Structure formats: structure tokens, C-alpha cells
A and B are shown apart, each in its own frame.
Chain A
Amino acid sequence: MTTSAAPPQALPPVRPPRPAKARKKIAHNVRTSRRAAWIFAPSLLASFIFVYVFIGITAYISLSNWKIGTSPDLSLRTPLGGTYSEIVKEQRFQADIRNVVVFTVLFLLLAILGGLVAALFIHHVSMGKSFFRTVFLLPYALSFIVTGVAWRWIFSPSTGVNEILRAIGIQNPPGWTTDTTILGALNNPNGTDFLKIQFGIPVALLPIIFAAAWQLVGFAMAMYLAGLASIPEEHLEAASVDGASTWQRLRYIVLPQLWPSTITCFVLLLHVALKIFDLVVAMSGSGPGFVTDVPGIYIYNYLASRYDKASAMSIILLLLTLAVVVPYLVRGYRRERKA
């Protein structure tokens, strides 16, 4: 402060650019930052209470003996964490974790790739741009319950799409959400093991993944369109002049510059996948042997009979989300500090 004190004094204070600069400096002194803290305090307090305190309460309940919602019992369960060791042994819990992992991976792949292809198509199509954009974005505007009911009819084994398959001569069309087979099963539980389910890809989950991806392709597409618009035209022109093919331009110029869009899509769609509930409820419910059950349905079912179990599952769901989101945030934070 002292070193820069002399030049401003030398300048007349009436000139227009001065006050702006002076204001900028004030922004960092103790009094104004205290004022800023006061301004931020309510929203900070609200988010602290409604996010972190409530997460804390849920975590506490998951360790307590509170079973029925209407009769709170806040004594801690012995041994501590007994609820967690109880649920990890459950067939239903194990199936839920398998399903949510399979769902998340395949759904993200489908939605992001689909969004990329749709965005490239729309970006390069010369006619009806806004028409196609609307077509792809429309499903995103609908609720999962609405589309879920429609998809349930489409994938109903005795009616729906199977009618068409039968008409073109396929004798045994797929059972869709009623199929209990696990593709590429890694193990075969004998009933006495800790693992009570087959790990692999439940066939019944595929129609649901497809429906979810269909609905969110528009969202990914919008992200990619924004990304594409920000790629400088000159880069592509320069590459063309140098004789780069369409594929080379895509591979070495477009895709690398779309990487931030991909990351954003990934993080934003991830929480859709982990929290998926309504679409599954509308399309298939838990399914035979929980082939289409997800943590959301588990929490909902146990809310009325086992508060502690529902809370434990919520915490596990939170940890699953954090496992992916935290590394992303840490990376972003580090970059910010470097810049």
C-alpha cells in the first residue's frame, strides 16, 4: 500500500477513471469484507443448516436405533454401525449397488455419446437447425414419470414393441424388464457366501438405461452445441488449408476443445443416474429378484419401516456421489490456484 501511495496522490482526484480504480481497492479492506460477510451470512447459514446439518442428522440416524418414523429413538445402536453391516449382507442391497453402478456407467456412455453425435449433426446440418434442436431437446422437458409410463407400454412383453417383432417373424421376442438373466456374470453365488447376487449386467435394466439416455441426450446435446459454438472457426479453416480430413479435424481440433463440455455433462448427468427413482418406478418397479431395484426405491420402501436403514442407504448414496464428484472438484480447485 505504501509503495503505491505516492502516484495516486500526484493525480488530480476529479478525473473520471480514478473513482473506479479507487473503488476496486476498497473492495479488499477489512471493513468492506466484513460487510460482504454479513451479506453472505444468511445464505451461508441456510445452506449450512439445510445441507450439512441435515446430512449430519441423517448420518446420526443411520447409526441410531430409530426404526419407525413416528417413534424417534435416538439411542446409538450397538455395535456402532450395526445397520451398515446389516444391510451390506442383504441380497437387495447388493443388487441395488450392482444396478446403480451398471446403470450409471452405461447411461453416461449412451447419453454423452448420443449427445455428441446429435450436436455434431445439428452443428453441421444447414437446414432446419432449430427444428432438430427442439426435437432432441423435447424429451428433456418431460418428467420421468410421463416418459416412464410410455416406455413401460413400449417394453411390455405381451404388447408394445414385441407385437412388431412377432409380426416380422421373431418367435421369442425378449422379455425386456421381466428378464432376470445377468449378462457376463462374474460369479455364481451358492447361497451361503457373503455375495448373494450375480455381478454382471442385468438384462432387465437395459430398456431403462435406454429410456433414460433417450431423455437426457438433448441435455448433453445442448452442452456440446455450446462447446462447438465456442471453437474458433479459424482453427478449422487453418486445418483445412493444411489438408486435414474431416475426421482429422474432428479428432485433433473439435474433440479436444469439447473436453470441458464432456466433463460438465459427466458431472451433471452423474447425479441424475445415481438418484434415479421415478423412471424405474414407472417402468418396472423393483423387478423380480431386484433386477431393476435402485437405492432410491430402497430408501423409499424402508422409510416407513426402518428409518435407520433408509438413512444408511442415503449416506451410502451420498458417498457414491462424493467418490466421483470430489476428485473433479479437487482438480478444478487446483487449476484455479495455479491460474
Chain B
Amino acid sequence: MRKAKTLRVAVALAAVSGLMAVSGCAANAPSGGGGGGANSLEITSWWTSGSESDALNVLIAAVKKNDPGLTVDNAAVSGGGGANARQALAARLQAGSPPDTWQLHPAGQLKSYVAGGQVADLTALWTENNWAAQLPKDVAQAQQVNGKYYTVPIGIHRGNVLWTNPKVLAKAGVTIDPAAGIDGLISGLQKVKASGTTPLCLGDKDIFASSQLLESILMSRVGADNWKKLFTNEYSFGAPEVKQALQDYKTILSLANTDHSALTWDEAVKKMADGSCAASLMGDWAYGELLNAGKKPGTDFSWVVFPGKADIFDYVGDGFSIPAKNIPHAAAAQAWLKTLMDPKVQTAFAAKKGSIPAMTTADISSLSQYQQQAAKSLATGAVVSSLAQGQAASAEFAQTYADAVSTLNGGGSDAAFIATMTQAQATQLK
């Protein structure tokens, strides 16, 4: 009898937990087209970490200030560098119940939405407000597909920054001069190794950290113009400069910590700041991570642009788009986009996010020393899109590249990498 009762309790518990799981899913599901009444705005993004959600809240506060009656539904999805959020968005777009606006990287990622006819043409809004004149030319270009604007840029990150530990470098008697190029970097790192410290910290448990390193080397070797041509198939991955870059990559990888595939990128940059190694390549989102870990710029860590022939700015952009069809609150979405393109809002956003404002008209004097330097570089250097972040080409091409880098890291040959990428150039760049 008691046993039967226990069984019944167990079944009831299982049923309740099942229900909880179902309702948990329901909580994640879209709240439907008309959620929150007439005057509301639903925003999807993958900004959930401390600095990111602070930055998003700056934007939400700004749009609410312009329209005090507005209710904002922050539907951020965490994890996977935005992969989870993009999956969730794709499902909603397919189901015909999109949010009012969503976060995305421009260029390549934008293309897939344009191809699917999901993203609204914003060209009229751009011309009306004359936004193109207030942005660097390459940045404005990246918001277009076939000459039409589909997104607005809120902030700009730089992917090719070499973060360094000044104490470790001083001990080894090494200075890293960006103008000395890759060869200078390698000889500097080898000197660090001779002094008994690991030269480079890398954390590529998520392969994008390695993709980013190879990307930076490639840009430095082939130059900004040829980098762009890689994605229009006017420049081949079989070029001698690419082969040279792959050689450099293997050399630099051999100078990195041996446990790199067990670490994440943030663990790696913190290791560098702790003095375990001399340098670490990562996008400038590492800056905020290091500050959060209590490291002081200038003493615990410093930075140089990744060495190369010229000053290349590896552009990783954040922007917002609105849906072409089934938009629940069109007016609020338009107001949102206009708020984003307010120089004051861009400055306030950048202060929280650690990025730099996209608009050249934004005041950067209140931002950190790093951000001011990066903003200067954005204005004067050659701006190119990141492939590791899925911005330079389609998602498929970016995935092929990430897989090829994984293979390379597992001991794959340069020839195999070149073969995979040239084939991708021939078949995936349409």
C-alpha cells in the first residue's frame, strides 16, 4: 500500500516537473504580436552580460525619454556569442511573429536576412536624416546590401588588438612595435620565450579566438584591399601572402600556451594580465572584461594594434534592424532607430559597452584612453569587416572558415586549409 502511494507521489512529481518544463519554454516564447499594448517596443539582442545589459539599458532609457508612455520589452537571449539569440530570432521570423527590432552584425550577417526578405529597407530613413555623412565611409557601406540601407550602426568594436602585459615585456626586454609587422612580433615573442615566460595567451575552447588570431595575421599580410577581395573572389586564398600568413600562424600558435583549447577567451586575457604570458590577441571587448576583473590599464595591461604593414581596423559592428513584414509596432521601431542615431546616445552607449561610437559627430572626449585611440584609428585607418565574427561574408562562409581553422589547429596542413577556402570562394560567394 505504501509503495503504491510512493509511486503515485513520484508520478505526480514527474508530471509537475514536466509542466514546469513546458511553462518554462512558454516563458521564453514570444509574447505574441500585440504584447504590451499599442505603445510598446520589443527588442531582441544577445546583450545579457553586465556591461552589455548596462549599455542596452542606456538605449532603452533614451528611447523612453523621447516617448514617456512607451513600454519596452527587453527580450535578450544569452549565450554562444549571439548564436542562441539568432536561432531564436530565426524561429520567430519564420513563424511570422518577429520582434519590433533586433540586434545584428552588419554586412555578411545582414545579407542572409535580406536574402530571406525579412529585414526592412531603411534607405528613406537614412537619406531623410543624412546619416551617411556622419559616419566613416566604410562603416556606412557595411550597413548596405546592393546599395540599400537595412540597418543602423550603434557601436563599433575592433577585432585586431594585441593586449600586452607591460611588466612581462619589460622583464624580457621586448617592445612590440606595430610598424615592425608580423616578423617583428614573432621575434619579440621568441625573445619572451627565451626569458622563460609563455609568450602568448590564447583561449580557443570557442574556436573564434583562433579564427580572430589567424584573421589578424591574414589582414596584416595581405593588406586591407586584398582582404576585402577575398570575399568577392577577386583575390585567392591560394596567394603566396596567405601561405605566408599560415606559416606565421603556426609559428605564433607554437608560442602560445599549450592548454589553449581548454580555455575560453576571457580566461586567456585574464591570464595575460596576471603575468602568465606577455600578450594576447582579442577584440576590444576584452578591455571591459579586464576592467571588470580589477586590472588597471597602463600598469596591469596595455595594448597595441596587431602589427602589420598599415593601420587596419578590424570592424566588428553592432546595429539594429527592423522586420519587413508583420512588424507589431512600426512607429515605435522607427523612433527607436532614430534614437540610436543620436550622437549623445552613442557616446553614452559606448561608455558602458566599451566600444566606440559609429558616428564621427559623437563626442569622445569623455571616453577612455583606449576608446579615444581606437576612434582615431577608425577615422584614419583602413576599415575592414571581420570574418571570424561572421561580418565579412555569409554565415556559411564564416562557418567554413571556423571549421578550417579548427582543422588547422588539430594539425591539418596549410594545403588543406587553402583547398577548403578556395573551394568555398568558388561555391559560397553568391
Contact = CB atoms under 8 A, between A and B. Distances in A.
A305 B258 CA distance: 31
Contact of A157 (B90, B94, B258, B394): B258
Interface residues of A, number: 36
Contacts of A290: 403, 406-407, 410
Nearest to B117: A71
B403 A68 contact: no
A62 B412 CA distance: 28
Contacts of B91: 69
B262 A177 contact: yes
Nearest to A67: B396
A303 interface: yes
A67 B111 CA distance: 13
A175 B259 contact: yes
A155 B263 CA distance: 11
B23 to A, nearest CB: 18
A304 interface: yes
A191 interface: yes
A178 B262 contact: yes
A69 B94 contact: yes
A317 B124 CA distance: 48
A304 B262 contact: no
Interface stretch (A28-36, A279-287, A326-334): A279-287
A70 B259 contact: no
Nearest to B82: A304
B411 A180 contact: yes
Interface string B239-272: 0000000000000000001111111000000000
A301 B396 CA distance: 10
A92 B87 contact: no
A262 interface: no
B112 A68 contact: yes
A68 B86 CA distance: 12
Contacts of A291: 410
Interface in B405-429: 406-407, 409-413, 415-416
Interface string A255-299: 000000000000000000000000000001111111101000000
Q: Which of B83, B115, B207, B259 has the most CB of A within 10 A?
A: B259
A69 B90 contact: yes
B113 interface: yes
Nearest to B260: A178
Interface string A18-33: 0000000000000000
B205 A71 contact: no
A70 B116 contact: yes
Given A158-B259, A177-B261, A284-B262, A305 B410 contact: no
A306 B261 contact: no
B238 to A, nearest CB: 15
Given A304-B86, A305-B395, 9 more contacts: A68-B115, A92-B403, A92-B407, A177-B261, A284-B205, A285-B206, A286-B207, A293-B406, A304-B83
Interface of B: 83, 86-87, 90-91, 93-94, 112-113, 115-118, 204-207, 257-263, 394-396, 398-399, 403, 406-407, 409-413, 415-416
Ordered nearest first, which 10 A-B pairs have the shortest CB separation?
A: A289-B410, A71-B116, A305-B395, A157-B259, A288-B409, A70-B116, A305-B396, A288-B410, A69-B90, A305-B399
Interface of A: 67-72, 90-92, 152, 155-158, 175-178, 180, 191, 196, 284-291, 293, 301-306
